[in-house]
Amino acid sequence: MRSLYIFLLIFFSIYSYSQSKEECFSNLSIFAEYAKVKNYEAAYEPWLKVKGECPDINSAIYVYGERILKFYIKNSQENEKDKYQKDLLSLYDEWLKYFSKTKSGTPQIGKILAIKAQSMIDYKLADDKGIYNVYDEAFKKDPKSFTSPKGLYNYFKIYFNLYKNGNSSVSLESLFEKYEELTEKFELVMGSYTSKLDGLLKKEENDDPLSSREVKNKRIYEVNMIACSTYLNNLNAIIAKESTCENLIPLYRKNFDKFKSDAVWLNRAASRMDSKDCSDDPLFVELVEALHELNPSANSAYYLGLLNDKKGDSKTAIEYYNESISLETDNLKKAKTLYKIALKFKKSGQYSKSRSYAYKALNYQPSSGRSHLLIANLYASSANNCGNTQFEKRAIYWLAAKEARKAASVDASVRRTANKTAISYEGRAPSKTDIFTEGRSGETISVKCWIGKNITVPSI
């Protein structure tokens, strides 16, 4: 009799569970369909039932649940908003509990925590310290899935606010360390999108049409690149007033003996001093020499090239620059270094060498719009020095405009600037009236000087 009772108990438990599960799937389907068409009021009740009874049945509970609760926060009376805001924070915690990984098993803790922190900012649900702690947990626990450009920017911005407001746990040194960490993270995220874009660009250049999925992905990569570029520029703007030579040199000098055996610290310090034009200080020489002795690398060789450049020893400088490229194994980092070298040569008026290194950068990163823009600027800067007549001098702007247009076509992150630049250069080139008056429609102009290019005059 007792075994029959146990059997019936198990049977009805399983039957009841199956019915409950079936009801959950039904409500899941109902609320998801309503949420897809943004009818969040109709979606709310079935969503609430599923979340309460089967919180682990599908991640849609949390993806759509966030949208539903944000709708109610936006459209509720003030006395009701607080409830929905608390529900939203609880939703993120449950999301982490039941779906800390994607279907494929990839962790998404960093992503979810970053979303939570953004909502805390949007609805003013915590002070800076509380929000920072959530971002910091995301970055430390699962940095791989924390890729939101806006989130990474806000993570630093809030840390910067803590520093400016005199929080004792945030020093100028730790602020720079956080800046370097997040800059490296931005570069990592952008590098991933760049590699994917370069693959698609090479396919297009080989006249191999992109599939509809590839066209869609290309747009997504470009949008993300624009977002990364924008927020990284904003991040740089925040730190600009603090990372002056007046602040950097005493700080790095004070810590040099402590960190002179730390390659990461040395590299970051040298990079910051270089980017802020503090490389004339003797400390920069000490940093570079210590870095190269400790760990000869692409970066240390580049800095040694820079030092020799400053001394006027261009031959040794180029040897170190080339060593830097040969030591680097990552194509995107090669391109970045080559571009930096191209910039150095431009500043010293060595335009031919500058263009050469810019082209080398494009070999490793076809989507480097800034390399095309640099070449365009080199041409435009030489317009008054090349060509035999005024018409031929101004014709060089067509060449510059062409490079700027190329920049716009391959790199969404500089597209707006590149298009404006192209329009500006085209405005300086000979007009249709000039072409007609000179009688040079369709003619090929051979530009000698360092440019060494042919320019075809537009036909009218």
Distance CA 432, CA 402 (A): 17
β 444-447/453-456 pair status: antiparallel
Which of the two residues, 127 and 8, has the higher pLDDT score? Answer: 127
Task: Give the model's pLDDT for residue 372.
Answer: 98
Which of the two residues, 194 and 18, has the higher pLDDT score? Answer: 194
- Nearest CA to 121 among 109, 132, 106? 132
Type and span of the H or E element at 191: helix 172-205
303 lies in some domain: no
User: What is the longest distance spanned by two Cα atoms in the chain?
Assistant: 112
Type and span of the H or E element at 7: helix 2-36
Task: Give the model's pLDDT for residue 15.
Answer: 41
Handedness of CA 20, 26, 32, 37 (dihedral sign): negative
Distance CA 356, CA 359 (A): 5
SS3 string of 352-383? HHHHHHHHHHHHHCCCCHHHHHHHHHHHHHCC
Does pLDDT of 30 surpass 80? yes
Does pLDDT of 39 surpass 70? yes
In a 13 Å sphere around the CA of 212, the CA atoms on its Cβ side amount to 0
Report the pLDDT averaged over residues 63-84: 94
Q: Is 119 helix (H, G, I), strand (E, B) or coil?
A: helix
Q: What is the pTM of this model?
A: 0.83
Q: Express each pLDDT in 101-116 by its tens digit.
A: 999 999 999 999 999 9
Structural domain tally of the chain? 2
Q: Express each pLDDT in 166-223 by its tens digit.
A: 999 999 999 999 999 999 999 999 999 999 999 999 898 888 999 999 999 999 999 9
CB 457 within 8 A of CB 443: yes
Task: Give the model's pLDDT for residue 115.
Answer: 98
Task: Answer with the one of 202, 219, 243 that is the final residue of a domain.
Answer: 243
Task: Give the model's pLDDT for residue 34.
Answer: 96
Give the chain's length: 460
Question: Which residue has tokens 């034009």?
Answer: 277
Task: Give the model's pLDDT for residue 8.
Answer: 37
Does pLDDT of 6 surpass 80? no
198 lies in some domain: yes
Q: Express each pLDDT in 109-153 by its tens digit.
A: 999 999 999 999 999 999 999 999 999 999 999 999 999 999 999
In angstroms, the first-to-last Cα distance of the chain is 103
Confidence of residue 311 (pLDDT cuts 50, 70, 90): confident
Share above pLDDT 70 across residues of the chain, in percent, rounded to a whole number: 96
22 lies in some domain: no
By CB neighbour count within 10 A (0-12 exposed, 13-18 middle, 19+ buried), where does 247 fall?
middle
Confidence of residue 16 (pLDDT cuts 50, 70, 90): very low
Task: Give the model's pLDDT for residue 4.
Answer: 41
Task: Give the model's pLDDT for residue 10.
Answer: 41
Distance CA 408, CA 425 (A): 14
Residues ≥6 apart with Cβ < 8 Å to 437:
none
432 lies in some domain: yes
Q: Which residues pair with 101 in a beta bridge?
A: 107
**Which domain, by its residues, includes 448?**
367-460
Task: Give the model's pLDDT for residue 19.
Answer: 56
238: alpha, beta or left? (left if phi > 0; alpha if psi -120 to 50):
alpha
Confidence of residue 7 (pLDDT cuts 50, 70, 90): very low
Type and span of the H or E element at 60: helix 60-75
CB 114 within 8 A of CB 135: yes
Task: Answer with the one of 243, 270, 299 that is the final residue of a domain.
Answer: 243
Task: Give the model's pLDDT for residue 78.
Answer: 84
403 lies in some domain: yes
Q: Express each pLDDT in 325-345 by its tens digit.
A: 999 999 998 999 899 899 989
55 lies in some domain: no
Task: Give the model's pLDDT for residue 460.
Answer: 82
Does pLDDT of 77 surpass 70? yes
Q: Rounded mean pLDDT of the chain?
A: 92
Q: Which amino acid is at 279?
A: S
Confidence of residue 314 (pLDDT cuts 50, 70, 90): confident
Task: Answer with the one of 221, 243, 265 that is the final residue of a domain.
Answer: 243
210 lies in some domain: yes
Task: Give the model's pLDDT for residue 216.
Answer: 95
Residues ≥6 apart with Cβ < 8 Å to 363:
none
Q: Which amino acid is at 187?
A: E
